[in-house]
């Protein structure tokens, strides 16, 4: 059986997060940073799920190893789900957090506080070589504030308010965020299904 899994990212923070999870499963975590060749997958799907599946499948076929890929972003109800898959480049290709936040506030300037509901969404896709891609989805519900609050985190965190804590994501400690974020929820869903997925994969190889 496989002893390692590749994470489709060059983000060391993400790698560390997944390493903590997969260590408990007896798997060594590697990432795109460990590959000699550079693999660039064009994320041209219409949904988070399509993008995550494409990344996992494409990279797994190239390196012939189990691969986990994720795609995530912000969905605002009053904007029909925007910025969605374009969350990182909402205000332009430069992926500028401050510009993205300013655009979001501009788009919502005439929307009342109670109508500013939103969700952070994270889809994890796992592809075993020769197998089908399996996915789980995590989410974190909140509301978009009228102005940025807090200095931690990144992206839309200063605008994403959590009513149950009376804080924005950017006002949480890393430990607090890691317990309730959309990625944390996706990992909870993954944990519920992982052993079954591995069992199914083993059966296929028999």
Q: How far apart are CA 114 and CA 116, in angstroms?
A: 6
Residue 13 assigned to a binding site:
yes
pLDDT < 70: residue spans in the chain: 203-206
Contact 47, 122 (CB under 8 A): no
84 belongs to an annotated ligand binding site? no
pTM: 0.91
Of the residues 40, 44, 46, 71, only one is catalytic, namely 71
Are 48 and 75 in contact by the 8 Å Cβ rule? The answer is no
Q: Do the annotations mark residue 195 as ligand-binding?
A: no
Is residue 182 annotated as involved in ligand binding? yes
Backbone φ and ψ for 193, nearest 5 degrees, come out as -105, -15
Does the N-terminal peptide bond of residue 205 adopt cis geometry, omega within 30 degrees of 0? Answer: no
DSSP single-letter state for residue 114: G
- The domains found in the chain, sorted by start residue, are 4-205 (3.90.950.10)
pLDDT of residue 135: 98
- Per-residue pLDDT at 204: 61
CA distance 97 to 100: 5
Q: Is 34 a catalytic residue?
A: no
């Amino acid at each position: 059986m496989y002893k390692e899994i590749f994470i489709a990212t060059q983000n060391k923070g993400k790698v560390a997060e997944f390493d903590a999870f997969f260590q408990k499963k007896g798997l060594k975590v590697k990432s795109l940073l460990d590959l000699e060749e550079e693999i660039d997958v064009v994320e041209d799907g219409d949904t988070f799920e399509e993008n995550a599946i494409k990344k996992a499948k494409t990279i797994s076929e190239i390196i012939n190893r189990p691969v986990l890929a994720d795609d995530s972003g912000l969905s605002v109800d009053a904007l029909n789900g925007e910025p969605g898959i374009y969350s990182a480049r909402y205000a332009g290709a430069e992926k500028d957090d401050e510009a993205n936040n300013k655009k979001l506030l501009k788009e919502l300037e005439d929307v009342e506080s109670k109508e500013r509901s939103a969700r952070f969404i994270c889809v994890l896709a796992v592809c075993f070589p020769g197998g089908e891609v399996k996915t789980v989805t995590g989410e974190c519900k909140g509301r978009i504030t009228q102005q940025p609050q807090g200095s931690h985190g990144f992206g839309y965190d200063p605008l994403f308010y959590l009513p149950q804590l009376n804080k924005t994501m950017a006002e949480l400690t890393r430990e607090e965020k890691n317990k309730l974020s959309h990625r944390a929820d996706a990992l909870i869903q993954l944990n519920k299904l992982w052993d079954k997925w591995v069992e199914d994969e083993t059966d296929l190889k028999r």
